[in-house]
Amino acid sequence: MKKKVLAALLSVAMVATLLAGCGSKEAPAEAPAETEAPAETEEPADAEEPAETEAPAASGDFADKKVGVCIYQFSDNFMTLFRTELENYLISLGFAKENITIQDGQNDQGTQSNQIDAFINDKVDVLIINPVNSSSAETITDKVVGAGIPLVYINREPDESEEQRWADNNWDVTYVGCDARQSGTMQGEMIVDLGLEKVDLNGDGKVQYIMIEGDPENVDAKYRTEFSVKALTDAGWEVEQLDDQVGNWDQVKAQELVSNALGQHGEKIEVVFCNNDAMALGALQAIDTAGRKVGEDIFLVGVDALSEALENVINGTMTGTVFNDHISQSHSAADAAVNYLTGAGNEHYIGCDYVKVTTENAQEVLDSVK
């Protein structure tokens, strides 16, 4: 059900994407060719429909298959939504709950590497890994492929040369995720859509902003930081960065950083860009404490579409967010695992699209994720 609503929303988003000229991984500046809901767009044309529509037929087939899942950090809000949906969906496909083991890497690559070793010793049938450090992907891949276990990376994309190795060696390794450039572009576009007159509160012809970044080792943080601002300059706007700080995806940290920035730069700050919603929620607390009002004397955007952020968008206390579709991504990851187990195989990159969320569609997105 949820999936249908999302597919409809995403179709609308795709049209918006086509109009806006946002892009797919290969050609960020160009419109994707597909017109359908994008969640499974990168499957090989001859691949079977993923198991979702075939759940009853697949049921039981996987009951004895062991799935190992490594999450970089359980306390991350977005990854909590992701892993919960992943587990539920795997169960709906016929995997047994007791054969799905999900480990918390506690944001420590050493800890996660030990967990991967343990999964290999335990002879799991497939591994789904959200790496602590994407730069460790090469070592992880070698280990897992060496043990003959298919591997689905999620959320933190390994670099291009690593993905190329999977293709060159024809390994059962893939990545499921969205292109973070698109989310950054959408954040910037939501600000541009307000019009320079509205955003340039002090009327100096420039937009003064602060940037609160996620973990800098993560491409999501890197690209969102770069492409959000690029959307403003692409629109011909002049920008001035007043501050750029690392909030590590964390609400409390972001609250502290934004509170300091507001103390230092005060009314000069017109826009607060946060690489994710958890940090935007922290920013909002700081904005409230400083007696500022989003939509009136400051603008605030995040990414993820956490329920709390969606409620803020509905109430006008956040300018906008970008839906990071944990449902479609977790389903695609589980479907990819199934495709390895059945021998159908996968492409080495399985993409999805982000969706812009403003007051116009925030309620609809909230209803679809509830």
| Contact residues for ligand GAL, defined by CB under 6 A | 76, 78-79, 155-156, 214, 218, 220, 249, 276, 278, 303-304, 324
Closest to 54 measured CA to CA, from 4, 97, 93: 93
Helix (H, G, I), strand (E, B), or coil: what is residue 15? helix
Instruction: Give the nearer residue to ligand GAL in terms of CB position, either 113 or 218.
Output: 218
Residue 216 CB, shortest distance to ligand GAL, in Å, is 12
Residue 35 CB, shortest distance to ligand GAL, in Å, is 26
Q: How far is CA 339 from CA 51, 150, 192, 243, 332, in A?
A: 9, 10, 41, 45, 10
Instruction: Give the nearer residue to ligand GAL in terms of CB position, either 78 or 166.
Output: 78
State how far the Cα of 244 lies from the Cα of 247, in Å rounded to an integer.
Answer: 10
Looking at residue 23, the DSSP 8-state letter turns out to be -
Residue 342 CB, shortest distance to ligand GAL, in Å, is 28
Which residue type, as a one-letter code, is found at position 110?
G
Strands 238-246 and 206-213: parallel
State how far the Cα of 323 lies from the Cα of 50, in Å rounded to an integer.
Answer: 22
Instruction: Give the nearer residue to ligand GAL in terms of CB position, either 68 or 214.
Output: 214
Residue 159 CB, shortest distance to ligand GAL, in Å, is 15
Q: How far is CA 147 from CA 117, 333, 341, 344, in A?
A: 10, 20, 15, 20
Instruction: Give the nearer residue to ligand GAL in terms of CB position, either 159 or 240.
Output: 159
Looking at residue 159, the DSSP 8-state letter turns out to be P
Residue 205 CB, shortest distance to ligand GAL, in Å, is 32
Non-local CB neighbours of 160 within 8 Å, separated by 6+ positions:
none
Instruction: Give the nearer residue to ligand GAL in terms of CB position, either 270 or 304.
Output: 304
State how far the Cα of 63 lies from the Cα of 95, in Å rounded to an integer.
Answer: 4
Structure-block tokens of residue 266: 């005060």
Instruction: Give the nearer residue to ligand GAL in terms of CB position, either 150 or 302.
Output: 302
State how far the Cα of 334 lies from the Cα of 289, in Å rounded to an integer.
Answer: 42
Closest to 46 measured CA to CA, from 338, 344, 350, 351: 344
Residue 345 CB, shortest distance to ligand GAL, in Å, is 26
Residue 84 CB, shortest distance to ligand GAL, in Å, is 13
Instruction: Give the nearer residue to ligand GAL in terms of CB position, either 249 or 299.
Output: 249
